[in-house]
Amino acid sequence: MNYVKLGKEISYALRHHPEKYHLDMDDEGWVVVNQLLDALKDKYGILDEEDIIDLMNHSDKQRYELKNHRIRAYYGHSFKKKIKKESQIPPQILYHGTAKRFLSSIMKEGLKPMNRQYVHLSQDKETAYLVGSRHDQNPVILQIDAYKAYQDGIAFYLGNETVWLSEALPSQYIKML
Ligand code: HQG
């Protein structure tokens, strides 16, 4: 089984285009696993929930949550109707890895969700570095004054254990490391 290809397509369906797969997704992003697998069967053959568990165990990142025969993406959504998330108290500091070429704009306008529903932040510098490496060979790591932003009314949400999400963050909460 090509887990990388299957995983990419599942992310595409759950994060970006559930309608293309005719998925009945609820407000929190949950979809019945069998409905997703049914939509993928022409391309990947007959799969069951065990295959998804296998895929998740083989993955470099924790991208999906599986519960009560339903599945959802922890983060990354881009479609218009925002996934309902419960606001959480963030740690004092979070990090964001990005490309040097985005810096002047970020320091002026702050961090924006861009094509996604939320800004994506990292729990630790190592994760931020990996995220930033997707955009730049020598990424920049930004330190985010998360708890201060939260106290000032900006909502934060938990993605998985290493990914946090937030609403747009003005530059006053962002420091270059
Ligand atoms: C940048 C992957 C200019 C922002 C990762 C980032 C993550 C601005 C880019 C998850 C800006 C958006 C998300 C502004 C933000 N001006 N640029 N005002 N505000 N940006 O890919 O955070 O492998 O949408 O710095 O690991 O890089 O898919 O977000 O560079 O967890 O599971 O705009 O996706 O996970 O890029 O990554 P992205 P991201 P997966």
Among candidate residues 150, 149, 101, 141, the one with its CA nearest the CA of residue 123: 141
Decide: 109 in ligand 1 pocket, CB within 6 A.
yes
- Cα-Cα end-to-end distance for the chain: 41
Give the Cα separation of 160 and 171 in Å (integer): 25
Q: Pick from 61, 74, 114, 122 the residue to mutate for probing ligand 1's pocket: most ligand atoms within 8 Å of its CB.
A: 114
Distance of alpha carbon 128 from its chain centroid, rounded?
13
163 lines ligand 1 (CB under 6 A): yes
Tell me what pLDDT residue 82 has.
97
Residue 47 CB partners (closer than 8 Å, separation 6+): 37, 40, 41
Is the beta carbon of 142 within 6 A of some atom in ligand 1?
A: no
pLDDT of residue 153: 98
- Mutate-to-test residue for ligand 1 from 107, 131, 165, highest number of ligand atoms within 8 A of CB: 131
pLDDT tens across 20-71, in order?
A: 999 999 999 999 999 999 999 999 999 999 999 999 999 999 999 999 999 9
Answer yes or no: pTM beyond 0.80.
yes
pLDDT (average), residues 157-163: 96
- Taking residues 126-149, what's their average pLDDT? 98
Q: Which helix (H) or strand (E) holds 10?
A: helix 3-11
- How many angstroms separate the alpha carbon of residue 9 from the centre of ligand 1? 19
How would DSSP label each residue in 97-152? EE-GGGHHHHHHH-B--TTSSSEEEESSHHHHHHHHHTT-SS-EEEEEEHHHHHHT
- In this prediction, residue 84 carries a pLDDT of 97
Residue 101 CA to residue 81 CA, distance in Å, equals 29
The ipTM estimated for the assembled molecules is 0.99
| Nearest of 11, 12, 15 to residue 118 by alpha carbon | 15
Q: Is 131 touching ligand 1 by the criterion CB < 6 Å? A: yes
Q: Evaluate: CB of 120 within 6 angstroms of ligand 1.
A: yes
Q: Is the pLDDT of residue 2 over 90?
A: no
d(CA 166, CA 118): 6
Q: Measure 172 CA to ligand 1 centroid, in angstroms.
A: 19
